[in-house]
Structure 1
């Protein structure tokens, strides 16, 4: 069964399709395939479009069943020819292999006839698999894939080709999927980065065109990743500036106002000697509450803007944080810095390293069940190394990487993003029962 959320997303994406669109649908699950096909056809019926389904006997029955499950009775639709099913058994061996021009001519006649009958468009659902390949050679199908799609818009037609990954040769799939600008993998719709435009697919050297597209995709991906890192760097810089402003407001304004209220409460009995003892006790308790609030505001301000980072330097600021973290959590934290004191680090580098230590120790405290952690910061040219180790329960690194998106945990991902923003890499070593070691290797400034 397909999850309801995926069904709703599929419904939205397929509803956006317009005449001229051309999708490839790759499936391994019959339930996913039946859902995609029935939804595609049912939406065509709802839009008063004609539907042509190219399939086998089993597929024709499954399509009718899928339509009924979605509240559509196919019988009257077949009678008025809004839905037409062409079975592979109706295609004589080699009979449909007359070339792309012949296929395009047949499609043009069908589309003109349906539009002439008052339908808004022609929707084609084609099963591309072993049964069809028995009637049509793979070479012809690839020629059709290059020749027909450019004419879909003119013909007021849209096409979805279904490929059974379990039963169709992989070599053929690689060639066939390249002619689809968009792909459905299961029920998820993607833009096809490896799409080969028809002019290139039918050109003198399609293989060279595919290679050029592949290389271009890699280059584009690298440019995109560079842009993402740049935007992430700017976002983090803006975030730290906002934290600085909020920290200052908390410390200089709210903290001072709370301190003034506390002093006024403490001196209230002196200014009003006739205050009843019970009221005086209430004033004392309010003073205690205010004192806790003042400490909370101070801690928030310090977490938003590390105290002393600019004045004392990175090593001293991290050392102070580790001491305070150990006092608050009971986790023994050993911090060591080697060769860092004389480095002239940009403030953004310092704050990102400080945040990485914060994030790593918070992860240890929340998840590791550790009794001890070691933080090491060392300048070993040409690298600046940050290492955080614990003696906790550890975890399977590969399994955690797979689960990170599903669980929406930001800990390790945040550390990795910060390391990449600084031009470095993050290495995580762990195993169940053997603790965890996190190493950030960053470029060291000259």
Structure 2
């Protein structure tokens, strides 16, 4: 018996039991569709997160108070360790010196806190950041309308604010045409001078749900620190993406000299975009594998269903097998026949499962878009090849025992089977 004959007989046999074959295929369809959809969601999440981080620039560095492993004054904590010296405006000025740090292009110090914004009975809690004019170009912020904070606002400690679009919508119901309106932040009046273009989530949460006020105004009235010179975080833009490692070294050397700390005992931490990307890629990679593993269990259950059906088929066709062997069918012919049936079941299930999985991923993407989330599931060719290959292997693996059992039947005993 050649493969073509075995395939035709397998199709005929499966066609003779449409309902049973359909239910068996359904197990593989569900398994493959789950693998495709889960991997698509995982890949989409990874692309969304890394895209959000990359959107703020590949040449951006973050400088925090405290060492990376020091508990009290850790990165972004704003806490005060016993021996940690806070970052200051003087540190920012030293790093901005082109002679001391030639790889550094722009420096933007900031202090941050949470505050309640109110307007005509509406209120929302958001992140309040005290920033300088250099903050917008360093963080790649774009204005939908109005202007960003300038030197005049800083020198005059003016009560002006730039809102993220989410914050604007939360208190006004829309984000356009609000420049010139007066809102209250923690009970104090601030005039809106600008609204940002929506960007989505970033490394430190959504920049759309934020409010930016002049650095000096924040120091004096809203976000008070132990000294007027103290800052929470320093955003640094390197001259090029390739110069980021050199810029990180220059920043570290400057701060060690100013803080008088030896190498290995830093009281600050310098993070790069690459550090954040690697961290998030690791997290989402593990999540994708986890989701794929859970979906793979469904595929395994589908394979067990194939073996179960094939065992039933062997039992029902015992006399047929005995007659074939009595007429000269070899052991490998019987083996090929049943392996072809099980493989065909898994192949059909795999193809339908790929289409169904793509449909699920597409639906998830449409729902995410409708709810305003920047998330698009990605169905990769690797996921398609992996799931279809795995389903074919499942069909072969779980078809071996029933096929072997059929091939080893003795013709005389098989013909006497009732």
Q: Shared topology, TM-score over 0.5?
A: no
In the superposition, the TM-score normalised over structure 1's length comes to 0.23
Larger RCO of the pair (alpha carbons < 8 Å, separation 6+): 2
In the superposition, the TM-score normalised over structure 2's length comes to 0.24
